[in-house]
Amino acid sequence: MHLSSHRLLLALLGSLIAVAGLASPSHAVTKLTDAQAASQLSASGISRVSSGGCTSRYTSTCTSYDQINQETVSGIRTFRSISGCAVTITGGTETGHASGTYSHWNGYKVDISPTTCVSSYITSHYAYYGVRSDGATMYRAASGNIYARESNHWDITYYSCGC
């Protein structure tokens, strides 16, 4: 009976740790360097532009991929593939964007040029999801990823690598 009590106590303690969030996450986020992400993106035909002609994460006029999530890169590559549209990234992980957990800085977002092809695909294949507090109209993919139409680009939040 003494051994059973210890097993019960260990089982309860394990449950408590899992519920309290002390257990390690089941899915770790994989971060990429600028070079790693650029290689994957260019191999998929995705281009990058920046108003400053640079890639530094610490300069707001650059377009950086440094510390971008692998799922974000996979997500935009999937979008490029299924939409058939040319995709140009105009914003990545560089400073100057809004803060938050699912932010550019934290690797969850990219901005892309709003070509006719891109805009038509998003608005016809994804569900209208309302208007953000900044006035951007949002569309939600079945995967949960959000496509928000800002004044001069699409602001995309990738929660998963699906589109």
Strands (E) in the chain, as ranges, are: 31-32, 47-48, 68-69, 88-91, 109-112, 127-131, 137-140, 146-149, 154-157
CA distances, 144 to each of 105, 109, 159 (Å): 20, 13, 7
30 close to 69: Cβ distance less than 8 angstroms:
yes
What pLDDT does residue 160 have? 81
User: Could you report the per-residue pLDDT of 113-156, keeping only the tens digit for each?
Assistant: 999 999 999 999 999 999 999 999 999 999 999 999 999 999 99
C-alpha to C-alpha distance for 160 and 88, rounded to whole angstroms: 20
Distances (CA, A) of 75 to 12, 46, 108, 160: 39, 12, 10, 7
What's the rounded Cα separation, in Å, for the pair 162 and 159? 9
Give the per-residue pLDDT at 17: 35
pLDDT digits (tens, 9 = 90+) for 2-28: 544 444 443 433 433 333 333 333 468
**CA–CA separation, 54 vs 60, rounded Å?**
10
Q: Looking at residue 90, what DSSP letter applies?
A: E
β pairing state of 88-91 and 68-69 = unpaired
pLDDT classification of 163: cutoffs 50, 70, 90: low
